[in-house]
Structure 1
Amino acid sequence: MGKKTVLFFSIVFLLLINTAPAHAIGKNPSNLYVVKSGDSLPAIAHTFGTTVEDLKLTNGLQSDTVVVGQKLYVPFVYEVMAGDSLDKISAAYHSSVERIKAANGLSATQLYLGQKLLIPPQRMNMDGQYILMTKEEFKNWLFHHQFSRKITIIQHHHTWLPSYKHFHGSNHFAMLKGMENFHIEKMGWKTIAQNITTFPDGKIAVSRPFNIAPEGTIGAKANTTGLTIENVGNFDIGHDVMTQAQRDTIVTITALLCIKFRLTPSIDSITYHHWWSLRTGERVLDNGPDYNVKTCPGTGFFGGNSTVSARNNLYPLVSRKMQEIAESK
């Protein structure tokens, strides 16, 4: 960490110590700030002694706009109690031991009773507008955000190309940028087409902002109130065999999206690209001739790309996951 960064944190820490009340785990404090009418990122950053850039990185924000009701992780001052440790504190407040040590100039993990610590939230894994997450991180991100666009349709696609052979375990951002370049340069779209991308290792990338409708050959009727999930792989029979990690992620995020947008799994709420005419953009379900529909999301996608396959295979899994999530709250 550079001298300027250390100085910045030191100044912020002193200001917060002198102006903000200290909290302890036993008193159930929250480091979540709920956005109110008239708020802006610069104003929120000033209030909590942080920066707009750090608020964006700790909350997975793709723009400088905030929405009333949105929840943001913010730094706060914590007072150490008996039995506390950096591991416990970081786990309780969406931080990390290293972040807390760096923010407070600690060289060791020992704490003392009554010690006041600045707790900075953990940063998310971002590259430009792309946010790479685990399933649990996506759940928090999704339910902390508010969206201005009406969403009634969750679309499932497969990339076909790139496929599994192009994924090397750590090239998530490189693959996203490759897709973005293709969508802009070859297809003439404004940015990457899909809102969400899933990977063979089970990771999730929020790609195109949710408040911007997706683009693609599925057509305007599906896109206007749609949210596109692009699943990396070629899931036509005889090609990529979906990993269990990606399978679990697809079911989980579909369930989370249904809960967030109050959707019941059905052909009207969870749709496959295969069910839409390339020529007219109308929904044809299982009745489209092969020359006028894509196989997407794949003839082997959760047992097939037909409405029967979706009803028998994907929808029951999503419904059960929705119930599990509801029971775990």
Structure 2
Amino acid sequence: MKKYVALLLCLILIMQINTKPTQAAYQSNIYVVKSGDTLPQIAKKYSTSVKNLKLTNGLQSDLLMIGQKLEVPIIYIVEPGDTLSKISLEYNTSINAIKVTNRLHNDMVNNGQKLRITPKRLNMQGQYILMTREEFRKWLLNNQFNRKISLIQQHHTWLPSYKNFNGSNHFQLLKGMENFHINKKKWKNIAQNITTFPDGKIAISRPLNIAPEGSIGERANSVGIAIENVGNFDLGHDVMTKEQKETIVYITALLSIKFGLTPSIDSITYHHWWDMKTGQRVLNKIAGHTVKSCPGTGFFGGSTTTSAKKYFYPLVTRKMQEIRTNMD
């Protein structure tokens, strides 16, 4: 009887060993900011520099917020079946970056090999961060903000327009707008928080923690994020590209998700609906008021509230549903 019990226990132990899931070597490269953290402390902990942390995470200042997520370098231990391609996709880097960092002469990796993985840097010049839609999604969801945001403003630049964009002068146009806003308008910085371009790229411009400036008025600015869409979208002028149209819908949907907004005239607003002199929201009752056509009479069907409800808000709502489905 004792032999049978011992045999049974051995069988159970073998089954447990064989069915126990293998412990993956995965190590998160996301650091969640805690109270008292500073960039120098985090940089020292992960054997990197403050400059690298800022370029990797699109930080416009040294300010950190509790709960903010930062991508940091890690040491990865190669597992059976790993390839440089697989590892680079998992950790937001490139095959070449892994090879350079680890002085690899080919794409071969061995089980148990230790690799230092450094996240990909964002494209930054000064305060400006130029991103793809996917990079913007990660940046926005990783960040925390210290002011109430309940209104997304849509604008068009009018000037610069499409004829001023050559496909590679994003930073030059941003700097030109910054100079105009500071020197001519006497504002403290570039007015808008976000800028979109005809090629679909997105630039974080004025930090989102700082309210925008401009003629839309203090009421809309105090709780707002201003989006300037490069182009003149009044009828008869620039015809918005497919790439920019998709970007505008996408980032508006992401911002709505991030800040808990439901698309409506109270959460997504057009510059055209505000009196430039008084800062009063007039919506479609523009008679006797000083208003702009911004974001353009050809912006997603027009600049009225009727156009927004019919042509723009449904696109944003559908995109929000799509994003949430992918996030789940």
Q: Determine the C-alpha separation between the residues in 2 that align with 1:43 and 1:245.
A: 40
Query: 1:160 matched to which residue of 2?
Result: 158
Query: 1:11 matched to which residue of 2?
Result: none
Runs ≥4 residues deviating over 4 A: none
Query: 2:11 matched to which residue of 1?
Result: none
Query: 1:215 matched to which residue of 2?
Result: 213
**1:71-125 deviation line (CA, Å, top 9, x unaligned):** 0000010011122111111110111112211211222221111110000110001
The alignment status of 1:170 with 2:168, answered yes or no, reads: yes
Q: Determine the C-alpha separation between the residues in 1 that align with 2:141 and 2:257.
A: 9
The alignment status of 1:283 with 2:281, answered yes or no, reads: yes
SS of 1:285's partner is: coil
Amino acid of the residue matched to residue 309 of structure 1? S
Equivalences for 1:45-56 in 2 at 5 Å? 45-56=43-54
**1:249-278 deviation line (CA, Å, top 9, x unaligned):** 000000000000000000000000000001
Query: 2:14 matched to which residue of 1?
Result: none
Amino acid of the residue matched to residue 49 of structure 1? S
Contiguous gaps of at least 5 residues in structure 2: 1-21
SS of 1:77's partner is: strand
The answer to whether the Cα contact below 8 Å between 2:73 and 2:117 also exists between their aligned partners in 1 is yes
Query: 2:192 matched to which residue of 1?
Result: 194
The alignment status of 1:179 with 2:169, answered yes or no, reads: no
Query: 2:264 matched to which residue of 1?
Result: 266
Query: 1:67 matched to which residue of 2?
Result: 65
Q: Determine the C-alpha separation between the residues in 2 that align with 1:102 and 1:28.
A: 21
The answer to whether the Cα contact below 8 Å between 1:303 and 1:313 also exists between their aligned partners in 2 is yes
The alignment status of 1:254 with 2:248, answered yes or no, reads: no
> Aligned in 2, Cα 1:324/1:25: closer, same or farther, shift over 3 Å?
farther
Q: Determine the C-alpha separation between the residues in 1 that align with 2:229 and 2:245.
A: 10
SS of 2:239's partner is: coil
Q: Determine the C-alpha separation between the residues in 2 that align with 1:212 and 1:328.
A: 30
The alignment status of 1:321 with 2:319, answered yes or no, reads: yes
The alignment status of 1:225 with 2:223, answered yes or no, reads: yes
Query: 1:308 matched to which residue of 2?
Result: 306
Query: 1:148 matched to which residue of 2?
Result: 146
Query: 2:12 matched to which residue of 1?
Result: none
Instruction: Give 1:291 deviation, angstroms.
Output: 6.2
Amino acid of the residue matched to residue 67 of structure 1? M
The answer to whether the Cα contact below 8 Å between 2:25 and 2:77 also exists between their aligned partners in 1 is no
Amino acid of the residue matched to residue 315 of structure 1? Y
Amino acid of the residue matched to residue 243 of structure 1? T
The answer to whether the Cα contact below 8 Å between 2:25 and 2:76 also exists between their aligned partners in 1 is no
Query: 1:93 matched to which residue of 2?
Result: 91
Q: Determine the C-alpha separation between the residues in 1 that align with 2:23 and 2:234.
A: 51
**1:208-229 deviation line (CA, Å, top 9, x unaligned):** 0000000001111110000000
Amino acid of the residue matched to residue 93 of structure 1? Y
Amino acid of the residue matched to residue 81 of structure 2? G
Query: 1:120 matched to which residue of 2?
Result: 118
Deviates further, 92-101 or 134-143: 92-101
The answer to whether the Cα contact below 8 Å between 1:25 and 1:89 also exists between their aligned partners in 2 is no
Instruction: Give 1:290 deviation, angstroms.
Output: 7.4
Instruction: Give 1:232 deviation, angstroms.
Output: 0.3
**1:102-154 deviation line (CA, Å, top 9, x unaligned):** 21122222111111000011000101110001111100000000000110100
TM-score norm. by structure 1 comes to 0.91
Q: Determine the C-alpha separation between the residues in 1 that align with 2:24 and 2:136.
A: 27
Q: Determine the C-alpha separation between the residues in 2 that align with 1:246 and 1:293.
A: 25
> Aligned in 2, Cα 1:25/1:304: closer, same or farther, shift over 3 Å?
farther
Q: Determine the C-alpha separation between the residues in 1 that align with 2:90 and 2:309.
A: 40
Instruction: Give 1:180 deviation, angstroms.
Output: 0.5
SS of 2:284's partner is: helix
2:295 pairs with 286, 294, 297, which one?
297
The answer to whether the Cα contact below 8 Å between 1:197 and 1:230 also exists between their aligned partners in 2 is yes
> Aligned in 2, Cα 1:290/1:312: closer, same or farther, shift over 3 Å?
farther
Q: Determine the C-alpha separation between the residues in 2 that align with 1:50 and 1:28.
A: 20
SS of 1:299's partner is: coil
Contiguous gaps of at least 5 residues in structure 1: 1-23
Query: 1:20 matched to which residue of 2?
Result: none
Number of paired residues?
A: 306
Q: Percent same amino acid at aligned positions?
A: 64
